[in-house]
Amino acid sequence: MARIAGIDLPRRKRIEIALTYIYGIGLTSAKKILSIAGVNPDIKVNDLTDEDTDKLRKVIEADYKTEGTLKLLVKEDIKRLKEINCYRGIRHKKGLPVRGQRTRTNARSRKGPSKGSVALKKKADK
């Protein structure tokens, strides 16, 4: 079983794609890792030899931040922004979009599910 960075890779996928299942590795870095390790990107995870998995694991552990470590780093960055009270930090605190998107409409990923129509329904019930 191919287990890299604490994640089981999906067995039936090409290794190139399978690596992207690890948090912190996208297609570009997956391709880079494979070329550094010298592994054919078209092999299915099932057919990987143990040597190859070891090589991949080494490359990833040496050069890439993945999973828990990366998530922690991101959290720390956000915490720093919040502590120094800059514009971006305030937007994070308020749960509003950070990068200047409009908030008059949309912005639902940050604000959560819409509250508007529910309130209207309640009034109608009364």
Determine the Cα–Cα distance for residues 73 and 68; give it in Å rounded to an integer: 9
CB of 111 to other proteins, least distance (A): 14
Residue type, 22: I
Closest CB to other proteins among residues 47, 76: 76
Q: How far is the CB of 84 from other proteins (least distance, A)?
A: 5
**Residue with smaller CB distance to other proteins, 27 or 86:** 86
Q: Whose Cβ is closer to other proteins: residue 62's or residue 84's?
A: 84
| Calpha distance 92→110 (Å, rounded) | 9
* Minimum CB distance to other proteins smaller for 113 or for 116: 116
Say which residue the tokens 């490359």 belong to: 59
Say which amino acid occupies 121: K
* Nearest CA among 93, 91, 86 for reference residue 101: 91
Binding track over 48-87 against other proteins, x by CB under 8 A = --------------------------------x--xxxxx
CA–CA distance, 70 with 65 (Å, rounded to integer): 5
Contact present, 7 and 21 (Cβ < 8 Å)? yes
Does 27 bind other proteins (CB under 8 A)? Our answer is no
Interface positions with other proteins (CB under 8 A): 80, 83-88, 90
